[in-house]
Amino acid sequence: MPLGFIETAPTKIASKLEIEKPADEDVIVQMPTDLDEDHTFGEQWFVVTSQRVLLIPRQGANGTVATPLSDVAFVRVDDLVGGGLIEIEKKDGTPVFIPFSQSLRPKFAEVAEGLKRLAEGESDKLELPTELDRTRCESCNRLLPEKNGTCPVCIEKWETFWRIVGYMTAYRGEVAVMLSLTVVGSLLGLVPPKVTQHIIDDVLTPSAGFRPLVWAVGALLGVRISIWCVDVSRRYIARRLGLKAIQDLREDLYRHFQFLPIRFYDRRRLGSLIARMTNDSDRLEGLMLYELSFVLSNGILFFGILGLLLWTNWSLTLYVLLPIPPIVYAGSRIWERMMRNWNLWGARWSKLYAQLNESITGIRVVKAFSQEAREGKRFDGHNEGVREVTVIGERNWFVFFTVTNFLMSCGAFFVWYFGGLKILENEMTLGALTAFVSYLWMMYQPLRWFGDFYNFMMRAFAGAKRIFEVIDSQAEPYEVAGAEELKEMEGRITFEDAYFGYDPGKPVLKAIRLDVEPGEMIGLVGKSGAGKSTLINLICRFYDPDRGAVRVDGRDMREITLRSLRSRIGMVQQEPFLFDGTVAENIAYGKPDATFDDVIRAAVAAEAHEFIVKKPDGYDMKVGERGGKLSGGEKQRISIARAILHDPKILILDEATSSLDTQTERKIQLAISRLVEGRTTFAIAHRLSTLRSANRLVVVDEGRVAEVGSHEELIERQGIFYRLVKTQQETTAVMEVAG
């Protein structure tokens, strides 16, 4: 049982539970609500055992409400404004209501579904999800800027920093050169004030003559040229190193996008993920290219100058250091506020990207319903949200930066005053004071830079954490210890009491039992939402069953490597997806090493060759993004050709002829009849007449296998399939009359 559903109860609640619950009853769910019986903010404890449901108030006059599971008639979740409640209807007596706020709705929805199954006597099969959408931080319980996002307050600053640096240290040679140049450049930067002091005290004040002045100024020029050369070289190496590091980071992020499971994408919006590759990585690029290389140089410069100032005059140095403690304190205080702000800034940008992606992808729908103005208002709302959070962040930072600048300038006033007194008392030379003031402003320069860097770093860290959240997500099990390569496949598929739900508490498939022989064609039939596509998802292993197993040739799919399994599965989807390449490239997508003759043969078999050669560029025609330059039927036939060339052992046809006219459909049916020979085939079709060639039809109803048999057998049985056929025939007849 996941820990999220059995939480540690306070002593008072635990004591009440001990009194109410017999020792032989197992606790299945134990967690607090955040609303009391009056629907005001308070706490009650909701406990489900193997025998009863308990609602224990933490405070108040009312006592514990206990309901035996045998007395539960049904359970449902009612949505209210800002929250909801679980309603437990009893077979006899007053219903029990358990209120909760909106933030707890996902968890209580799962519990309600589990409780319903317990009441139905499925206690041995109850499973609650191990992962829910996270809306609050697991450490500090603050609301997250976006679901499943990162908490800006709990970001590990140093861990994140060193992880970013780790991408740069992969290039150790260039890092070593950059560090060497940084040290040399920082040490050279300490020389000019000393040369200036020498010019004032040893050349100009005693009027030493023209020749010493030329030598001193020449030395100053030589130092400045050396500093310039070292700085240019360091910046060049740093830029090159930063570009390589951010390239590696983007490659890691993209590859993780490719290998993450489908369930990961089910829980996130596409625009939010794109924002990680664009907005967040851009922030990190700026940090790697322009900022990190200055951390060491400014650090060396600051501590080097501080050492020289202490050595020159320790009492004046104390006045220089006076503004630093309040600046450091203010910086530590502003960190939490700024990190929260910039993480919210990233979340707002994600929403804007998501809306932008959605509106552009669906631009035909927008225009068809004349909703341009509405989409514009939606965008304006997201854009205004980005502006507001940016203004707040910049305002906070502006106040901090201007105050710290003022504090730093105060040190210079003290130095000029007390240093001037020392000159008047002949305790210090004018050259030494001039050098001291030069070092003073040189030391404040790194402090100002660190102030700017601090602001930029907080933005970059918020983006880095969002990127690392993707990189750290569990990838699909491509490389599992003990998994075997599938070298040969016969094509037998067996479902053994398979249960599956996109949320485990709400099963879509229930106790699926099905044995498919090698080379058999199975037609999957049922109402929309019955579970046909979910069945296909399990065969492709886009998801694993929550209970039970799916076997290939007698072996559990989880014991076979994903790559070897999927390389033997071909799919033609209801809505075919084509990449922005040529016709030939799309047909050969599943078999990149195919020859051009192989591509043509596949196109001929899919009845696609005829229309392809009529195109201006034939097989070299660019199909456009998502195949936008082709008709629906043309895209479908290219998708079929792609599956044919892939030569799979298991073939999945998901409404493969849905976009074709009657004449072309007949040709495709002939092509499919040739294609399925020797292959285990699963076909989904809403036009039931197209499945007559299937060896068996499997009728899926409410997640269960309701009927199995040939077309004729199911018609004779006059069950679910018979009613579906009759309904479809009546609908077709009405449409023909209306037409």
- Predicted local confidence at residue 434, as pLDDT: 78
Considering only CA atoms, which of 159, 158, 107 is closest in space to residue 132? 107
What CATH number has the domain spanning 157-471?
A: 1.20.1560.10
- Structure tokens given for 684: 């989904």
For residues 739 and 737, give the distance between their C-alpha atoms in angstroms, rounded to a whole number: 5
CA-derived radius of gyration, the chain: 35
The residue among 136 and 628 whose pLDDT is bigger is 628
The distance between the two most distant Cα atoms of the chain, rounded to a whole number of Å, is 121
| Each residue's pLDDT tens digit, 525-538 | 888 888 888 899 99
- Across the chain, mean pLDDT equals 79
DSSP 680-702: EEEEE-SSGGGGTT-SEEEEEET
Q: Which residues contact 223 (CB under 8 A, 6 or more apart)?
A: 188, 191, 192, 195
Q: Which residues contact 17 (CB under 8 A, 6 or more apart)?
A: 9, 30, 45, 47, 54, 56
Does this model's pTM top 0.85? Answer: no
C-alpha dist (Å) from residue 18 to 5, 9, 111, 423: 18, 11, 22, 83
- Structure tokens given for 739: 């037409």
| Each residue's pLDDT tens digit, 211-257 | 878 888 888 888 889 889 988 898 888 888 888 888 888 888 888 88
For residues 293 and 198, give the distance between their C-alpha atoms in angstroms, rounded to a whole number: 32
| Each residue's pLDDT tens digit, 33-76 | 888 777 788 788 888 887 888 888 876 556 788 888 888 888 88
Question: 482-568+678-739 belongs to which CATH class?
Answer: alpha beta
Q: Where in the chain is the domain with CATH 2.30.29.30?
A: 3-125
Mean pLDDT of 477-489: 78
State the pLDDT confidence band at 658, using cuts at 50, 70 and 90.
Answer: low
The residue among 287 and 335 whose pLDDT is bigger is 287
Does 9 score more than 70 pLDDT? yes
Please give the backbone phi and psi of residue 578, each rounded to the nearest 5 degrees, phi first. -115, 145
| Each residue's pLDDT tens digit, 148-180 | 556 655 666 677 778 888 888 888 888 888 888
For residues 108 and 116, give the distance between their C-alpha atoms in angstroms, rounded to a whole number: 12
For residues 717 and 706, give the distance between their C-alpha atoms in angstroms, rounded to a whole number: 12
Weakest mean pLDDT among 56-60, 201-205, 612-616: 56-60
State the pLDDT confidence band at 493, using cuts at 50, 70 and 90.
Answer: very high
DSSP 327-390: HHHHHHHHHHHHHHHHHHHHHHHHHHHHHHHHHHHTHHHHHHTT-HHHHHHHHHHHHHHHHHHH
Sheet strands side by side (includes 650-654) = 569-572, 650-654, 680-684, 521-525, 696-701, 704-709
For residues 385 and 401, give the distance between their C-alpha atoms in angstroms, rounded to a whole number: 24
- Structure tokens given for 472: 């750290």
Dihedral, CA atoms, 533, 539, 545, 549, nearest 10 degrees?
A: 140
The residue among 270 and 682 whose pLDDT is bigger is 682
Residue 715 pairs with which residues in a beta bridge?
none
Does 188 score more than 90 pLDDT? no
- For residues 318 and 414, the answer to whether their CB atoms sit within 8 Å is no
- For residues 653 and 630, the answer to whether their CB atoms sit within 8 Å is no
**Helical H runs in 46-202?**
105-119, 157-168, 172-189, 191-198
| Each residue's pLDDT tens digit, 288-319 | 776 666 777 777 777 877 777 778 777 777 77
For residues 561 and 540, give the distance between their C-alpha atoms in angstroms, rounded to a whole number: 12
User: How many other C-beta atoms can be found within 10 angstroms of the C-beta atom of residue 273?
Assistant: 20
Instruction: Catalogue the long-range contacts made by 172-177 (C-beta closer than 8 Å, 24 or more residues apart).
Output: 174/237, 174/240, 174/241, 174/244, 175/241, 177/237
Mean pLDDT of 262-269: 79
Does 677 score more than 70 pLDDT? yes
- CA angle at residue 126 from 124 to 131, to 5 degrees? 145
Q: Measure the N-to-C terminal CA separation of the chain; round to a whole number of Å.
A: 57
| Each residue's pLDDT tens digit, 571-595 | 887 778 888 888 899 888 888 888 9
Q: Where in the chain is the domain with CATH 3.40.50.300?
A: 482-568+678-739
What CATH number has the domain spanning 3-125?
A: 2.30.29.30
State the pLDDT confidence band at 2, using cuts at 50, 70 and 90.
Answer: very low
| Each residue's pLDDT tens digit, 448-471 | 666 666 666 777 777 788 888 888
For residue 593, count CB atoms less than 10 angstroms from its CB and return exposed for 0-12, middle for 13-18, buried for 19 or more. Answer: exposed
Q: Where in the chain is the domain with CATH 1.20.1560.10?
A: 157-471
- Structure tokens given for 313: 């005059």
